[in-house]
Every structure is written in structure tokens, then in C-alpha cells.
Amino acid sequence: MVNHSKNQQHIIIVGGGLAGLSAAEWLLRQSPTPRVTIVESSHRLGGVIETVSREGWLIERSADSFLSVRPEVIELVGRLGISKELVSIHPEARRALIWSPRKNNSGVLLPIPPGFRLLAPGQIVPFLQSNVLSCLGRLRVAGERFIPKQKKQCADESLESFAVRRLGQEAFDKLVQPLVSGIWTADPSRLSMAAACPEFFKMEQDWGSLTRGEKKRISQVNGSSDASGARYGQFVSFKYGMQTLIDTLESHLRSAGVKIVQDKVSSLQYDGAEWQVALGKQMARASGVVLAVPASVASPILATVSSELSAELRNIEFAGAAIVSLGFHRQEITHPLSAAGMIVPRIAGKRILAASFSSSKFSGRAPADSVLIRAFIGGALDAGIAELTDEEVLQEVLIDLKTTLGVCGRPIMVQVDRWHTSMPQYNLGHVERIKRIRQFEAILPSLGLAGSAYEGVGIPQVIHSGQVAAAQAIKQISSSSNQNV
């Protein structure tokens, strides 16, 4: 338990999702330690991250794993003492499949060509041997290294334009679009390369080619270019699901004296010395604030503090999606499910974007002789799912799982999780918008904005955003910044 002195700073964190919890954990490590209060509108902490355990099933309502190559989560997990709970994807499931459409609505599930990462072919020979693309399509990708880089780098380019330019239309339609939509649930003709895939944008500039850039990257990371399986091994979760991270963070924060209040923050005001945080009918006072809520929620909260900042936040778009978790008796699915999951290109005319084979990836996700599959549906190009009932969403998913995986029976467990506005869209202009947001934020004293809407949606990036926002909130207030409020 931390001792609070009279002159201690008091930081209020609005939003108890991963970004807010990470901000609090960072603040507790500072000296002198501030007093920390988290205000969370729902009855639980964790935001979108939640694991449901029932009757032998372990169901993730949103994120089911994270990339362990960035240090933020691994270091946090180490500080919380739960490193032993981490589990990697089973070696036999360290690959993904792609639905390759054929005539008459039929098709076949094929492995993603070894070494192909999001937009970059790392190994050309296995790529040429894969049947995901036609011969012409494969040759077009093999020739990527001869496509000149854009002479004048434009400030931004859509993912679709970039991928078609470098890899050809067929590779975009059958490979890049489904790979990207599984992560961003975005419209690729609007998704900003600079914001969503800056690494590949830079590869073109630095190496003149994605093929060369990816080879270089792999040889630097692993000393070998055969890194496909190794990459899937970098995705980790917890033995008992992602909830372990949230529960451990919560008990760590509570035992260190962090106050957790269930209330909805409606507005912020700054009186020249302190922040006033409107929650319900009360006003709480704070020396600094971390706003770790979705940008669409942060916008009205900041309306009276900075109309410019509020307007920029309002312009970040969000898409909706649903995850349908389905349990089946093993014998009711003809496919061996020997992969982490599958992705489905839009040109296949199906409704699902992807499906994760949860029980193939990690142990303990399904009862004996059963399998757990999580299907993703919706996104920026299928806003119509918001109009469907859960039963209609389920029927759409079952139709697609029947044709792709040979599902023949009824599921023995169903859970539909709807995320109406939880997928921030990093559309064209996002990088410039975030620059402006950061400029407006910097003018305000001791205020930090955190969350997935800004500089990365993945769990490591969201933890990082919480830590950076906490540092902003605790920053000493300069007299010049005071005058600007």
C-alpha cells in the first residue's frame, strides 16, 4: 500500500480498459507515487478484453493472443509475476489457411505461402509453388522486386493502391485483402498505409522492394529466411486466457491503493490549477487526467476544454464487428483444423472475414472430443451486420463454415459477441490527424490520451499508449501551457 501525502499529485484515469490499467501500473512505479483513481463506466475492468469460462469452454470475447516481439506486454507480465502463465501457439498449428475460391461457389483451403507476411513475400520459391494465385499472379508477385519504387513518396497511400501497385491485383484480392481485413476490419481502399502498415511503406523506400526488404528483415531477426512458423510461435496468450492479464493487473492496482470507481465521466474542465472531472452528479478534482476511452467517447468529454481537439477525435471512424464462438463435437467437422485459423477473401462472396481455430491454437479451450472455432464477421465493408439479430449472424456464419470447413452438425455451444464501435479505422490522413491531436493535447496541462484509436490497435501498442499518456498526465505543469487552456 502506498502512503499518500498532502501534496501528492492525484491522477484520474478515465476508462479501465487495458490502456487505462497500463497507465495506472506505470504511475505506481513513479517516485513520488501519485494518488491514482480509475473511473470505469461498466461493472468490470478490462474493456473489450474478457475471457468467459463455462462448461469446459474458454471463450475470448475479443483478443485471444498478442505478439510477444514488442517488449511492452512481456515486461508488464514479468513485473506482474505471471510469465509462467504464458502459452505459445501449438507448433502443429503455427500456420494459417486461406480460402481459395473456385468456380460455382466452391473452393479449397490452402496454406498461406510460406514466408508471406501481410504484404511482403519473404521467400519466392515456396511462393511460386503455392496454388493460392494463378501462374500469372505468382509471376507478378515474383517480379515485385523489379517494380520501381514511387519516385515522389506521397504523404499517404491506401493499402489497396499500394498492394496493387507492388504485387498486382490478384495478390491483393486473394491474399493481401483477407490478411489485412482479419486485423483491421477496414476498407482497404481507405486504410492508410502510413498509419496501418508503416513498416511496409518504409520497406519500399529503403530497399526499393518488399521482397528484398522482407528477406533483409528476416535474416536480421533470425539469421535465416525461413521464418513463417517461427512468426506464429511469437503469438502468445495465457493458459487460462487473456483474463489472467486483466485480473492480475486489477489485484496489483487495488493492493497498491489505486481507487476504482464505477461511474461514467461526461465532461472535463480545467480551472487553471486543477482538472474537474464530471462523474454522475459529482465533480472529482485531479492534478492530471488520462483519458483512456475510445476517441468517439473522448470527443464529447473534451468539448468544452478544446473544441479543436474534440473535433479531431470525432473524425476518427470506428467499425463494428461480431465474433461468433462455436463449439462442435470433433466428428462434426471434416477439416482437420491443423492451423491457427483461416482467412476468407472478399471476392469469395462469403460473409465471414476469418475464423480462428482456438482449440488447435491453445490447450484447454474446449472439452474433450470437441473443438472451439471463433468466426469474425462485419467490419467496415459489412456494416449491415449491425442490423442482423444474433440468430441471423449465427446462420450466416454456419453457412460459410459448412462450405469452408465441412461443418455438418449443429454447434453444441454458441456465443455471439458484438462490438459495435470498437474497431478504430486508420483511414487516409490518420497520421496527420494524430499529429494534430498530439499538438492540441500537448497544449493542455497534464492530460494524456490513450487507447487503440491513435498509434496502434494491438495489445503491446495499447499498453505503450497507456504508459505514454500517464507520463503526460504526471508532467509538471508549465506556466505557458496554463495560459493556453
Q: Is 458 in the site for ligand FAD (CB under 6 A)?
A: yes
> Pick from 345, 451, 468, 470: which binds ligand FAD (CB under 6 A)?
451
Nearest-angstrom CA–CA distance, 418 and 339: 25
Q: Is 297 in the site for ligand FAD (CB under 6 A)?
A: yes
> Pick from 47, 115, 213, 445: which binds ligand FAD (CB under 6 A)?
47
| Residue nearer to ligand FAD on the CB measure, 127 or 426 | 426
Strands 120-121 and 116-117: antiparallel
Quick check: 11 and 27 in contact, CB under 8 A? yes
Binding mask 54-73 for ligand FAD (x = CB under 6 A): --------xxxxx-------
380-389 long-range CB contacts below 8 Å, 24 or more apart? 380/185, 380/186, 380/187, 380/190, 380/317, 380/319, 380/423, 380/425, 381/181, 381/187, 381/346, 382/351, 382/353, 383/319, 383/320, 385/320, 385/321, 385/322, 385/351, 386/320, 386/420
| Residue nearer to ligand FAD on the CB measure, 219 or 251 | 251
| Residue nearer to ligand FAD on the CB measure, 428 or 462 | 462
333 Cβ neighbours under 8 A, 6+ residues apart: 371, 405, 406, 407, 408
Q: Is 323 in the site for ligand FAD (CB under 6 A)?
A: yes
| Residue nearer to ligand FAD on the CB measure, 292 or 309 | 292
Q: Is 48 in the site for ligand FAD (CB under 6 A)?
A: yes
> Pick from 293, 352, 377, 434: which binds ligand FAD (CB under 6 A)?
293
Q: With CB under 6 A, what is the number of residues at the site for ligand FAD?
A: 36
Q: Is 378 in the site for ligand FAD (CB under 6 A)?
A: no
What are the grid coordinates assigned to 37, written together? 483513481
Q: Is 292 in the site for ligand FAD (CB under 6 A)?
A: yes
Cell 496501418 maps to which residue? Answer: 196
Q: Is 41 in the site for ligand FAD (CB under 6 A)?
A: yes
Q: Using CB atoms within 10 Å of the CB of residue 81, give its burial: 0 to 12 exposed, 13 to 18 middle, 19+ buried.
A: exposed
CA angle 455, 218, 363 (to 5 degrees): 75
**Residue 359 C-beta: closest distance to ligand FAD, Å:** 16
Q: Is 237 in the site for ligand FAD (CB under 6 A)?
A: no
**Residue 237 C-beta: closest distance to ligand FAD, Å:** 9
Binding mask 6-35 for ligand FAD (x = CB under 6 A): --------xxxxxxx---------------
What are the grid coordinates assigned to 165, written together? 501497385
Q: Is 462 in the site for ligand FAD (CB under 6 A)?
A: yes
Q: In whole angstroms, what separates CA 194 from the centre of its chain?
A: 17
H or E segment to which residue 376 belongs: strand 370-378
Query: Would you tell me which residues interact with ligand FAD (CB under 6 A)?
Result: 14-20, 39-42, 47-49, 62-66, 264-265, 292-294, 297, 321, 323, 419, 422-423, 451-452, 457-459, 462
